[in-house]
Amino acid sequence: MSAFNAETADNLEDIEKQFAVVAVEQAETYWSLINKIPGSKLRLTQYDDEIYEAFKSHFPEYTDLDRLTKFDEAELKTKEAKERWRKFIALFEKKIDDFNFGTLLRTDSTKEYGQFTTCFAVRIQFYAFEIARNKNGLNDWAVGCK
């Protein structure tokens, strides 16, 4: 089997669409879950506590519940932020399946997934934010929403 070469691969647009479909399906599944069960009662992984403690340690600014509730996507995209996230991500690359798989993350936990309240992130970033939000009860409002 030869190595995948993105530069010469055909139908890159089709591959991107497939990744987008998976990301949307994951978002729909998560939204459906927090509509049925208070986030404060959920465990997303067997490593929730470890992810939460590492997130607080590496990103203490998000211990401020206002910042955890709502952030600007640009906060994740600066050169400095990318380096900080690389170090965080490295902690979990052998523990979390598909840790770097693209997913959708709500930038405002008081809102549903939407065009202006969602950004593209990697799975471990999703887990970090959503586990912290769940542990702080920030997603409990969603129960019963459709």
Sorted by where each begins, the domain ranges of the chain are 45-142
Residues 6+ apart with CB under 8 A from 1: none
Question: Residue 7 is inside which H or E element, if any?
Answer: none
Q: Is 36 left (phi over 0), alpha (psi -120 to 50) or beta?
A: alpha
pLDDT of 98-142, one tens digit each? 777 889 999 999 999 999 999 999 999 999 999 999 999 999 999
pTM: 0.87
Q: Is the dihedral of CA 36, 76, 67, 94 positive or negative?
A: positive
pLDDT of 46-97, one tens digit each? 999 999 999 999 999 999 999 999 999 999 999 999 999 999 999 998 898 8
In this model, does residue 4 exceed pLDDT 60? no
pLDDT of 21-50, one tens digit each? 788 888 999 999 999 999 999 999 999 999
Which tokens hold the place of 53? Answer: 């403690």
Q: Is the dihedral of CA 133, 137, 142, 143 positive or negative?
A: positive
**Second-level CATH architecture of 45-142:** Orthogonal Bundle (1.10)
Which tokens hold the place of 64? Answer: 């401020």
